């Protein structure tokens, strides 16, 4: 059976910024091709992509990742049957335990009010799974009619392992206590790296005390001084979606089409929010290449193993686009790789090298074309 893989390649220039910090507050970096590159972790761009889903998908298609799952289920049980408000916390714990999810006492802060128990790890549940588990708890409470509530483990596990949301299906779920509840991720996101070498810089800043400045008897010195580390870069970003795995997770061709379209749109247009108020670094990509394949995902980072240097013909972005096109062309030729679809879009005449790989398009048209391709191929024998 032929596979369907969607690769997304993005070249994006960001001005002075600190998109993704390490534990010291410095912009993350990595050595690649023997030189230091700017880096934005895959986790940071996955989070930005997930956040963008809020404006692209209905809440019923999404999930929530939290340790406070007892509180979440308690609220949903109460919403479904207000008469169960007092017993809802116990019912929530019972149904989660029956589903194979370990519940532990929450860490209590000193002098803080009592907090509900929680899972021992972040748990990713779809909103529909939360509703279905709550409905099972409500039905069990009604059946008990004031007696001991019994919740069947098989029923609870089934409700925790069906009706997966788009984000759970794309990014996966690991449940340490019960691997049967694990969900294999259908999407992979690479760490974004700069196509060139970078050297971090420091912004020395002062913050004036307005009230002190207005006092003639006080000096007008700063109320605070500090530094912020930053860099600027042209990033190569890459992600892929295994459409077949996504379809297996969702179990619905229409939902799969909707999920792929949302992922392509969200990944391309999103950006991590680190220090964005300080740097106003929000940009759109310079160039995007989307390739549909039947074989395997192909990351084109090898195009930039030799760092782009100042003075390359046409500038850094044009040189990067040309390298990306050359890498894709040479790999396709060497490995007898024939894409089943290829679209590119971006700014200006510098996009011309990518035109030779496939259809020159626009953002919206590319998303629609990929969605149509998925619709044609999902469910084919």
DSSP string, 186-245: SEEEPPEEESB----EEEEEEEE-HHHHT-TTS---EEEEEEEEEEEEEEEEEEEEEHHH
> What is the reported pLDDT for 381?
55
How confident is the model at residue 221, as a pLDDT?
66
> Could you tell me if 198 and 248 are in contact, meaning their C-beta atoms sit under 8 angstroms apart?
no
By C-alpha distance, which of 265, 369, 286, 365 is closest to 52? Answer: 265
How many whole angstroms separate alpha carbon 236 and alpha carbon 12?
7
Q: What is the mean pLDDT of each run of 10 residues along the chain (381 residues)?
A: 91 95 92 96 97 95 93 95 93 92 82 79 92 95 87 92 94 86 95 96 83 66 82 96 96 95 98 93 97 96 95 89 97 96 95 94 97 88 55
Q: Distance (Å, rounded) from C-alpha 18 to C-alpha 31?
A: 18
- Rounded-to-integer distance, Cα 309 and Cα 371, Å: 37
Identify the pLDDT of residue 214: 65
What was the pLDDT predicted at 216?
65
- Residue 311: per-residue pLDDT: 82
pLDDT score, position 107: 80
Return the SS3 of 127. Answer: helix
**Cα 83 off chain centre by:** 38
> Can you give the pLDDT at residue 206?
80
pLDDT value, residue 158: 93
Which pLDDT score is estimated for 113?
72
pLDDT given at position 106: 82
């Amino acid at each position: 059976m032929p596979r369907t893989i969607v690769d997304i390649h993005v070249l994006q220039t960001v001005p002075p910024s600190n998109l993704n910090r390490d534990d010291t507050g410095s912009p993350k970096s990595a050595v690649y091709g023997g030189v230091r590159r700017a880096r934005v972790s895959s986790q940071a761009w996955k989070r930005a992509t997930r956040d963008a889903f809020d404006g692209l998908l209905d809440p019923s298609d999404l999930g929530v990742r939290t340790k406070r799952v007892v509180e979440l289920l308690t609220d949903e049980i109460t919403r479904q049957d207000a008469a169960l408000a007092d017993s809802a916390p116990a019912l929530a714990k019972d149904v989660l335990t029956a589903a194979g999810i370990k519940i532990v006492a929450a860490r209590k802060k000193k002098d803080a009010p009592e907090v509900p128990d929680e899972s021992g790890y972040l748990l990713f549940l779809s909103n529909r799974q939360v509703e279905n588990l709550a409905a099972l708890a409500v039905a069990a409470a009604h059946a008990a009619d004031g007696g001991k509530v019994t919740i069947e483990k098989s029923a609870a596990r089934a409700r925790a392992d069906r009706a997966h949301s788009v984000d759970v299906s794309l990014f996966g779920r690991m449940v340490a206590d019960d691997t049967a509840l694990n969900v294999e991720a259908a999407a992979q996101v690479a760490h974004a790296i700069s196509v060139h070498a970078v050297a971090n810089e420091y912004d020395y800043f002062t913050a004036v005390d307005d009230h002190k400045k207005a006092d003639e008897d006080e000096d007008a010195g700063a109320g605070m001084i500090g530094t912020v580390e930053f860099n600027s870069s042209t990033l190569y970003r890459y992600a892929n979606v295994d459409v077949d795995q996504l379809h297996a997770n969702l179990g619905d061709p229409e939902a799969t089409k909707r999920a792929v379209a949302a992922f392509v749109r969200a990944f391309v247009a999103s950006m991590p929010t680190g220090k964005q108020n300080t740097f106003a670094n929000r940009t759109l990509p310079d160039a995007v290449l989307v390739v549909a394949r039947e074989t395997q995902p192909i990351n084109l980072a090898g195009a930039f193993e030799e760092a782009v240097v100042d003075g390359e013909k046409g500038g850094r972005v044009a040189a990067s686009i040309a390298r990306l096109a050359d890498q894709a062309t040479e790999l396709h030729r060497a490995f007898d790789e024939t894409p089943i679809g290829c679209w590119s879009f971006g700014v200006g005449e510098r996009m011309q090298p990518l035109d030779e790989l496939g259809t020159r398009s626009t953002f919206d048209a590319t998303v629609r074309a990929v969605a149509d391709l998925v619709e044609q191929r999902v469910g084919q024998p």
